[in-house]
Amino acid sequence: MKRLLLFTILFSPALFTEVAAQDASIFPKGEISTTDNHTGTIWLNELSVGDSVFTNSIALATYAPSAKLDWHIHPAGQILLITEGSGYYQEKGKPKQIVHKGDVIKCLPGVTHWHGASPGSSFAYIAVTPTTKGKTIWLQRVTDEEYKSVK
The domain that holds 50 is classified in CATH as 2.60.120.10
Is 23 within a domain? no
Between the two ends of the chain, the Cα-to-Cα distance in Å is: 59
Question: Do 75 and 133 contact (CB within 8 A), yes or no?
Answer: yes
Is 2 within a domain? no
Q: Which of 79, 74, 43, 59 is nearest to 139 (CA)?
A: 74
Is 8 within a domain? no
Per-residue confidence band for 8, with pLDDT thresholds at 50, 70 and 90: very low
Give per-residue pLDDT as tens, 96-119. 999 999 999 999 999 999 999 999
Domain count, the chain: 1
d(CA 85, CA 106): 18
According to the model, what pLDDT value does residue 151 have? 52
Q: Which of 46, 67, 39, 72 is nearest to 123 (CA)?
A: 67
Is 12 within a domain? no
According to the model, what pLDDT value does residue 26 have? 84
Range of the domain at 139: 29-148
Is 104 within a domain? yes
| Radius of gyration of the chain from its Cα atoms, rounded to whole angstroms | 19
Is 62 within a domain? yes
- Mean pLDDT (whole number) for 122-132: 94
